Structure 1
């Protein structure tokens, strides 16, 4: 009897405590909790959109997966696109980057230890001029990893700031003739340096895609005038994504820098040129060079990569190489030569990687030429 009374009393106290707690707290199911968090995130994202809309300088909101969530009219004008094309598009489509460069930019914008803006060189930039992307990463949901970055876009600060400073001082008429001359000389040096940088790949120091395209056209034009051959080698690092995903982008970047040093030795003559033309893709232009000699040069490059013994999760870094060449009788343009070398690269990849294959120019009927 006492036991039943004690149990009844305890049960009553438990119910009483439960009643008091229910008066102060409301139980929420997990689904509703997620909806509340999503609602708060959407509200903050709407606020960010409003901020972007009223800004005079180009700006956008970027989600951590690379999707542009909002952009303003200033950005649309800068990159010459309709504002409707920008929202909910991936960054590579908005800025016209290749996929590898796009992921490099996204990683840099969201990097916690970043101490400065991300620069797009003239060839990467949608405007054809050097741009800065200055990001402020933030978390819109307190309990998870939904990261966003508020990104401002502006011309490269070094030259722009210098131009503004000089213009301001000239307007105030505080410059002497000597000071004007000194500033002019310094500005000329800055412009010359920027012009050089505009043709360089910032990661490897090699020529970039824009410089490559111009030089290939020059070499082909000279070969046509002089009745010479010209050759093109295209190289792609095998399983590079595995290296990046396994060891991180820093190791991947270092691999590309080391490969650039190996390839630089392939351009021995004044009109030869080595360029980085894509994420892990390189090209070598060989002036006055037959297909036979170009294949020999590509084989030397492949052996040099082996000798460098660069680490890779699968053992050592290797590359697949495609080669193509014009003859004095050919009247082919840069696109046709590049496609031929690319066919050789595809064949090297298809037949097992880590090898050199020739790709042949197509005749006027679209049929592949045979070797020899």
Structure 2
């Protein structure tokens, strides 16, 4: 019975020409999915567009947040250096002193220091110093402005050494951006006042330039504490955030997932999607808000285009299906598809080899070619990985050799210059002292002449080991300065510690009892010059080297095998 049905069914189809069979079957097979896809296109396209906008807007919000932090940190770094500077510390000490004349001079000096520090920054339009009572130290300031600044300082939270950013009324009816930082005396850590820096909103607005998400999106920064808009992009039609947005931001703080993308509805019924990113240590948020109706309008356009393109392709396919037999088109499509995947880099793809016609022969040859390509690809990747590892090892070895003295194994002069410059800058920022030891092996030329250069090289290696053993802290650096001279950088060290370490080195070298017949001491000894100071921004590496070198000269002049402390370039203790 089934065979009879098959015969009748196939007999009916055989009465129809092949091209019409292909066309009719293609209509049934293709039109139904096309109709279904058309019905689903709007929903799927809407979801895809929202996901794309979400991913892009979240990244934009985070990037803007990072750029804002960089700009804020620039102002914070400058203010921190000013707060710790010796000049400002002295002015504040005079201001609080009993000498009225010195206090008056300090008021004028504060204005000059602020102008010298922030005068080169065009976006800083206000800079004031407040005393312990939160009063502006500037007799020429307008009383209303001074009152506003004092009120902002009174409202500031416990800063705990950290900068605080806020909005304030600059006295001209508009909100301005301000940074406040507490100042303490470096000697006793007592409160000394507060630094107030007013920044034009344009300093941050330039970050928004060139950023366009489309869909009538708006970019702005909002203060979640009161809803005030701090900075905004092209759309300047509002000065405060919608309450629904603030509720969404507050709710996102308690969510573990998806807290960087929220939706809210304005009072007029307009629904928005917003990507948000908080600026650390502030109540400010970067917001990228997009109207949902704009997204839907765009997706409707995409849906119509998809349907139109689908219908066009469907019509073209009908024409092609009438000209190409299925027995030829399907295998060829499979082969072409496999070739495309292989051309994209997927050499693991294979095609069906059934049959004995020309297409089957092509399929077998393609599979053989893909197999060879896969094998060559694996071998090439293995060779690349091997060469990469070898190159990395060579680079690490070369980097170590470029910073190490080949004879003694300690740091070379190039490495010494880099570390000294870095430690000098770090010492200025931290306020800790920096010490430098300059060591010279006594009568080394005579030692070389008597015992030979090989013995002299071994002597230098022994001295280098003594220096490394005496410098156990990670921040200390032992370097060969040149010839028989060595140097030791001692970070965060007071004078007494530096001199004691130098004395220990002298004793350790003498304790080696390396014979030196041409030395009055009978053994290898060393002379050491010590430079120890608290550097400021004007101190240079050359000054520190000059003090240590002069101290070393005096150590030799006073008989060698001793330590001399240098106070400056001309006076030695």
Structure 1 or 2, whichever has the larger Rg, is 2
**TM-score, normalised via structure 1 length:** 0.50
**TM-score, normalised via structure 2 length:** 0.33
